[in-house]
Amino acid sequence: MKVHYDFSELQAVSNPVVTIGTFDGVHLGHRKILGQMREMARELHGETVLLTFYPHPRMVLHKGDHGLRLLTSLDEKKSLLESAGVDHLVIYPFSEDFSRMSAFEYVRDLLVNGLHTHTLVVGYDHRFGRNREGDFQVLQELSDVFGFNLIEIPAQKLNEIEVSSTKIRQALMSGDVETADEYLGYSYSITGEVVRGDGRGRKLGFPTANIRALDPHKLIPSSGVYKSDVQIDNKPWPCVVNIGVRPTVSDSGEMTIEAHIPGFDGDLYGKNITVCLKRRIRDEKKFGSVHELIQQINDDIATALL
């Protein structure tokens, strides 16, 4: 997959089959649409092109109050789209000036002059241009004007997929990572830098890697203890991840992500690692004593290693 930040290299793309969207999570529903695009491109002897925007439009239009929690960082999205077989990913800069572009200008400048679209594939509810003035009817009119093919993914087909980024977010926020993983088609993961904590885990006999997510907009699932795997230097290690405020040993209220990796004794400080959440074992709770906490951690480890 080739990644583009402008349109200069796209003139050589043959018969571009284009779609537009955030594609957050690149879940099974997204991949079904991308698979259909690949089939169209093959029939046309063309190539697939996905146009997305960065920063996310909500970050620009609702500064400080966007409440955005994404399933995938930009780097994660690139990797997933490549594995889904996308030929070209165009990451177009979203700005306030761009948001004021009319629907006509959007089609003319981006889809026609920029992407040289042969076939455009969009959902029935796709909106675009200033104040979201453009809709499928506008696209139909402009496809005749500019001479590109237009294919609508109807509501019925999208509903048949029964997968949406919203459903996945809801599952994660309730701690149901198994349902989220089923919709995603892969294990939900968090990549972050290992930073120094207060050392309480080591004092208890369970050293932990304290993880600070690289993307501040990444959705962190509900607090609790999770059976997980962690990728260290491309090798998976089974581990226990605690997401929460550690109420038994701290009253700071600070949300942390900590991974205890049984059997691992290396130095991870300053490294980036990825935890893949498999199953929520239990709620986070405040124990009556440190001894009770230690007993529970041992039980959690045994459960995670099953």
Q: What CA–CA distance (Å, rounded) separates 80 from 93?
A: 20
Length of the chain: 306
Do residues 246 and 253 lie in contact, with contact meaning Cβ atoms separated by under 8 Å? Answer: no
Distance CA 273, CA 43 (A): 41
Query: Looking at the whole model, is its pTM more than 0.85?
Result: yes
State which residues of the chain have pLDDT below 70.
66, 155-162, 247, 249, 251-253
153 phi, psi to nearest 5 deg: -90, 105
pLDDT of residue 247: 67
Please report which residue ranges of the chain form alpha helices under DSSP H: 28-44, 57-61, 74-83, 96-99, 103-105, 136-146, 155-161, 165-173, 177-184, 200-204, 290-304
How many CB atoms are closer than 10 A to CB 102?
Answer: 15
Q: Cα–Cα–Cα angle for 66, 71, 76, nearest 5°?
A: 120
The pLDDT of residue 157 is 59
- The three-state DSSP-derived secondary structure of 146-185 is HCCEEEEECHHHHHHHCCCHHHHHHHHHCCCHHHHHHHHC
pLDDT computed for residue 161 by the predictor: 61
Angle between helical axes of 177-184 and 165-173 (0-180°, round to 10) = 160
Neighbouring C-alpha atoms within 13 Å toward the C-beta of 10: 29
Q: How far is CA 181 from the centre of its chain?
A: 12
